[in-house]
């Protein structure tokens, strides 16, 4: 049946039209790279977050959650290395004054090469870029840009400045009296809230290594080139888990989480062929191994989640700056025939952007379909095939007409179901139009209450993905939907 496309600008327009995502403060023309989630978006986002939270905490008895504050003591960011190292190499075009992140500029050009079928050149360019980035060779990177005649999208010239580093953290002031206040930062990652609470959680929760601490929450980065809708935002949400392990076992756990996280994305319903690993060539200052799980977005394969073996870097640094012993006394070592020991645990981190995962779900779900009906006429629809378990609404309840007692039956059904899952009630427009609207929102099941319902207590249930309809007892509706979403 299908003639499906996956057009990015149409996905963005669809998100706005159906209450998923709006530009921030749109009445004032919006704010660059900041977005608001609408009535359906907030529900989808919450469902994705809950799915992650449950799989991390409820399904792992050795992982607990916390919710640390966004504002943290400024020394946190000194210890973590963000004040000194959290910067990206940037280059400015002298004619347009437009600033680019060097890797993004080169990657855009590589995308263009790929688009033109010049795959080998694309591969060679990216390989060279990775080599130069790993050596912080800014002269080499500038030469690479100039040798390939990579131009600014605005001025279309190759008139570039030298490459410089820019810190990505937002700062603000604590306290009300300007000047006396201390400079503090909006956290650029949630992970540090976990590290500084390591001892609190370990001691109060009597946690034994290996164990994890999970957290979801907002993070802020002054992305210079913020683009591609909610892919790269200045205010976004992360879902991170730090897994504390014995030194020397970290690479085993790294492999474990690398595999576990890919499987988790598949369990969410992401097609396996749209996911791949990308090993980091240039390791972050804290890591001894790192990989991205990439998803094939409408604009190509890009990072969705990072899995990092962070060594003991963070706990060691916080220990030194706070002068507190952030150590673990390992009673279990004796059982394993080793001496008792205090040590600083090593950490394997899993870090996924909630907004990026949201974009993944929307991108993989969005489909434009056209087909020929039995009578030879053409029909079409736009559908969001969001996996039922995370769809904002699970069931739409639609009385065929607004009279003859049908709305009353529909509302009674809604009351029976709404404790268990989100239901949507709609009595306006033709039933065909209402089905199309539910397809566009991504509601997996619609139930129509018609006159026959009054006679035999049955309803028509329609399945979004197949558009098939069948008659089931009214009293089974809740059970049928529960089975499909659990
Ligand atoms: N604690 C490790 C850390 O923050 P990261 O690779 O910088 O690592 C982790 O970020 C994840 O956060 C990324 O894989 C991505 O999904 C998400 N993320 C990072 N920057 C983002 C941005 N500007 N907008 C949206 N999501 C972002």
Residue nearest to atom 19 of ligand 1 (CA): 353
Q: Does residue 345 sit in the same domain as residue 419?
A: no
What is the domain range of residue 242? 8-86+168-362
Q: What gap in Å lies between CA 269 and CA 387, rounded to an integer?
A: 6
Q: What gap in Å lies between CA 384 and CA 368, rounded to an integer?
A: 9
Q: Does residue 64 sit in the same domain as residue 174?
A: yes
Query: Any idea which of 37-41, 135-139, 222-226 has the lowest mean pLDDT?
Result: 222-226
Q: Does residue 332 sit in the same domain as residue 408?
A: no
Judge whether residue 159 has pLDDT over 60.
yes
CA–CA distances in Å: residue 447 to residues 428, 473, 483: 15, 11, 15
Pocket test for ligand 1, best of 168, 238, 278, 279 (most atoms within 8 A of CB): 238
306 Cα to the center of ligand 1, angstroms: 8
Sheet holding 289-297, edge to edge: 63-65, 211-220, 235-245, 346-353, 300-311, 289-297, 275-279
**pTM of the predicted structure, to 2 decimals:** 0.88
Q: Give the nearest ligand 1 atom to 353 CA.
A: 16
Domain boundary among 362, 377, 405: 362
Q: Does residue 426 sit in the same domain as residue 328?
A: no
Q: Does residue 414 sit in the same domain as residue 473?
A: yes
Q: Does residue 174 sit in the same domain as residue 298?
A: yes
Binding pocket residue ranges, ligand 1, CB within 6 Å: 189, 191, 221, 223, 232-233, 236, 238, 240, 303-306, 349, 351-353, 355-356
For the segment 314-349, what is each residue's pLDDT rounded down to a tens digit? 999 999 999 999 999 998 877 766 666 899 999 999
Q: Give the nearest ligand 1 atom to 305 CA.
A: 14
304 Cα to the center of ligand 1, angstroms: 8
Judge whether residue 447 has pLDDT over 80.
yes
For the segment 193-220, what is each residue's pLDDT rounded down to a tens digit? 999 999 999 999 999 999 999 999 999 9
Q: Give the nearest ligand 1 atom to 303 CA.
A: 14
> What's the number of domains the chain is made of?
2
Q: Does residue 67 sit in the same domain as residue 215?
A: yes
- Tell me the CATH number at 468: 3.40.50.800
463 Cα to the center of ligand 1, angstroms: 36
Q: Does residue 273 sit in the same domain as residue 414?
A: no
Residue nearest to atom 9 of ligand 1 (CA): 351
Output the six-digit token pair for 445: 């099941």
Is 465 a domain residue? yes
Q: Does residue 295 sit in the same domain as residue 439?
A: no
Q: Does residue 184 sit in the same domain as residue 235?
A: yes
CA-angle at 157, arms to 155 and 160, nearest 5°? 105
Is 175 a domain residue? yes
Judge whether residue 277 has pLDDT over 90.
yes
Give the number of other CB atoms < 10 A from CB of residue 148: 16
For the segment 242-273, what is each residue's pLDDT rounded down to a tens digit? 999 999 999 999 999 999 999 999 999 999 99
353 Cα to the center of ligand 1, angstroms: 5
344 Cα to the center of ligand 1, angstroms: 26
Q: Does residue 453 sit in the same domain as residue 352?
A: no
Judge whether residue 181 has pLDDT over 60.
no
Q: What is the phi/psi pair of residue 174, to 5°?
A: -95, 135
Is 172 a domain residue? yes
Is 112 a domain residue? no
Pocket test for ligand 1, best of 306, 308, 347 (most atoms within 8 A of CB): 306
347 Cα to the center of ligand 1, angstroms: 18
477 Cα to the center of ligand 1, angstroms: 41
pLDDT score recorded for residue 3? 39
pLDDT score recorded for residue 486? 85
For the segment 285-303, what is each residue's pLDDT rounded down to a tens digit? 789 999 999 999 999 999 9
Q: What gap in Å lies between CA 296 and CA 302, rounded to an integer?
A: 6
238 Cα to the center of ligand 1, angstroms: 7
Q: Does residue 321 sit in the same domain as residue 416?
A: no
């Amino acid at each position: 049946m299908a003639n499906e496309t996956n057009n990015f600008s149409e996905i963005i327009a669809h998100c706005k039209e159906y209450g998923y995502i709006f530009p921030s403060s749109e009445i004032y023309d919006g704010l660059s790279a900041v977005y608001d989630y609408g009535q359906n978006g907030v529900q989808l986002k919450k469902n994705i977050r809950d799915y992650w939270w449950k799989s991390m905490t409820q399904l792992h008895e050795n992982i607990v959650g916390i919710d640390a504050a966004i504002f943290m003591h400024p020394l946190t960011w000194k210890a973590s290395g963000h004040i000194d190292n959290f910067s990206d190499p940037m280059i400015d075009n002298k004619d347009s004054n437009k600033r680019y992140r060097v890797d993004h500029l080169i990657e855009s050009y590589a995308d263009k090469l790929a688009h033109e079928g010049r795959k080998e050149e694309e591969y060679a360019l990216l390989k060279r870029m990775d080599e130069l980035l790993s050596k912080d060779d800014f002269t080499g990177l500038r030469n690479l840009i100039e040798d390939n005649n990579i131009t600014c999208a605005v001025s279309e010239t190759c008139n570039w400045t030298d490459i410089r580093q820019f810190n990505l953290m937002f700062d603000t002031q604590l306290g009300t009296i300007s000047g006396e206040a201390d400079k503090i930062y909006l956290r650029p990652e949630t992970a540090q809230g976990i590290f500084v609470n390591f001892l609190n959680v370990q001691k109060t929760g009597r946690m034994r290594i290996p164990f994890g601490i999970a957290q979801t929450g907002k993070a802020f980065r002054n992305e210079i080139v913020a683009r591609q809708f909610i892919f790269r935002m200045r205010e976004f949400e992360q879902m991170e888990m730090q897994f504390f392990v014995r030194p020397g076992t970290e690479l085993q756990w790294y492999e474990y989480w690398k595999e576990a996280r890919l499987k988790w994305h598949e369990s969410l319903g992401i097609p396996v062929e749209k996911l791949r690993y990308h090993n980091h060539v240039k390791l972050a200052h804290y890591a001894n191994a790192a990989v991205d799980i990439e998803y094939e977005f409408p604009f190509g394969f890009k990072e969705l989640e990072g899995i990092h073996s962070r060594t003991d870097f963070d706990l060691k640094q916080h220990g030194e700056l706070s002068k507190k012993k952030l150590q673990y006394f390992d009673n279990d070592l004796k059982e394993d025939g080793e001496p008792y020991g205090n040590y600083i645990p090593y950490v394997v981190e899993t870090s996924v952007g909630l907004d990026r995962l949201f974009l993944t779900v929307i991108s993989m779900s969005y489909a434009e379909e056209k087909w020929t009906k039995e009578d030879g006429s053409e029909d079409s629809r736009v559908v969001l095939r969001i996996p039922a378990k995370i769809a904002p609404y699970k069931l739409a309840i639609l009385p065929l007409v607004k009279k003859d007692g049908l709305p009353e039956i529909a509302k009674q059904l809604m009351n029976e179901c709404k404790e268990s899952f989100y239901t949507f009630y709609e009595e306006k427009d033709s039933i065909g139009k209402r089905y199309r609207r539910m397809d566009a929102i991504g509601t997996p099941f619609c139930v129509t209450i018609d006159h026959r319902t009054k006679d035999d207590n049955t309803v028509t249930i329609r399945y979004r993905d197949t558009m098939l309809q069948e008659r089931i007892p009214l009293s089974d509706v809740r059970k049928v939907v529960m089975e499909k979403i659990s």
